[in-house]
Amino acid sequence: MADLATPMSIRVAATLGLVERAGSGATAEQLASETGTATSALRRLLDHLVTIGVFELDPRSGRYRPTQLGVQMSGDAPAGIKPLLDINSAGGRAELAFVDLLQTVTTGAPAYPHRYGRDFWADLDAEPALRRTFDAQMNWRFREQAPQIARRFDWSRFPTIVDVGGGDGPLLVEILRAHPGVRGRVLDLAPAAAAAAERFAATGIGDRASAAAGSFFDPLPAGADAYLLSDVLHDRDDEHARLILAGYRRAAAPEDGTVVVVEPVRGQGVGTAINLFVLVCFGGRERTVEELAELAADCGLVLRGSAQVADGRTALEFGVAPAR
């Protein structure tokens, strides 16, 4: 459990694409030539991957090939874990912030900016390639959950929905597919909004869906029947979570405005590892329903109800608190 050789070997193998490059078998010399690495060093890496059961070696031909375990690291594997292993992707880069876990435990501050010189979101803004890998990772994560969220929550009550921070639109697409009477808009940073518009057109819902550039901290478009906030609050500390919720409160109609927060909820299937990850990477935390309700109450929102809507996701419905 204390050995870093194995997890780092797996990450480097995923980053170099060794599973895809090896195919049915390749020598260390061939793989080194294709990856631009040192043959002798790569051979040591491959030998360790053999030891841990990720690759196997044919001693007669000197060819390495991935095992059934190893093929899970390929980019098209159903397990979809490569983005979390590839050091050049947003997920893999974020995972490496755990190297500075001691700094986080000592100070309480996220390790990501300590390691990389800027926070995670600034990194995505500065590096378009990272942004693309992040959007791809979110699409993979929601490939099963988005249809569940769309079916298990009654979105048909809301003729118009604004999905703030909705990326390139995977969740909104499923909601509109499941509820033909609903129209929606994604509000996210310009690259994600542009990708969302393309997705809406490609999926044939462009007449009911639109996208606009913006952020949580900009004034939100008023007048929507519901505002959706998915997988956002756990990435923020309490101060920034309140700022986001306060913006929703200002946009929501005083009488019947609704804010739907879809989040992993502590105590409802959320593991300790992800709670530690959001601290190390963002300075965020997983919260209980009661803690989320308290945050919202500080911003003038009252919890109407909550229900689990997907594996590891709970929908919390908030209304505007009556004026005193």
Give the active site residues.
234
Q: Is there a contact between 254 and 276 (Cβ–Cβ < 8 Å)?
A: no
Rounded to 5 degrees, φ, ψ at 159 are -60, -30
Q: Is there a contact between 192 and 226 (Cβ–Cβ < 8 Å)?
A: no
Which residues touch 310 (CB under 8 Å, ≥6 apart)? 144, 145, 146, 148, 149, 152
Tokens read off for 217: 């901290």
Which CA distances in Å does 190 have to 8, 124, 153, 209, 227? 34, 12, 29, 16, 19
Which residues touch 222 (CB under 8 Å, ≥6 apart)? 250, 251, 253
Pure H helices in the chain: 5-16, 18-22, 28-35, 39-51, 82-85, 90-95, 101-107, 112-116, 120-126, 128-152, 170-178, 190-202, 238-251, 272-282, 289-298
β-pairing, 55-58 vs 26-27, is unpaired
